Amino acid sequence: MDEFYTVNQTALILKVHPLTIRRYLKEAKLRGYKVAGNVRISQEDLRSFMQNFTSSPRTNRLPITNQTKSFTTTDSLFRMKARGLSMNRIEQ
């Protein structure tokens, strides 16, 4: 009999986030079965997926810059003060 895995177990095996597994299921890249309201992936389907699937390369993200931004009195952060919030420095 074929062994079945949960979404979380499959994510651990593939070293991806469980939401990635759910996306693969939704896009029909990976086959799953609903059992008592829960999704299960068979061992055979997982093996087939691992042999045939090639992940897309990651896109390069824009570098983080160290630009500082100054606040003005028109910023929403300052408008919140009127709603009972204060801008006091938090002591650590």
| Cβ burial, residue 18 (10 Å; 0-12/13-18/19+) | middle
Which H or E run contains 64?
Answer: none
The 10s digit of each residue's pLDDT in 17-65 is 999 999 999 999 999 999 899 999 999 999 999 998 776 667 777 777 7
Q: Give the residue, 32 or 70, on which the prediction is more confident.
A: 32
Q: How far is CA 62 from the centre of its chain?
A: 19
* Distance between CA atoms of residues 44 and 79, nearest Å: 58
The domain limits of the chain are: 4-52
| C-alpha dihedral sign at 53, 48, 39, 15 | negative
Full-model pTM: 0.58
pLDDT value of residue 6: 96
Q: What is the dihedral of CA 78, 79, 83, 88, to 10 degrees?
A: 0
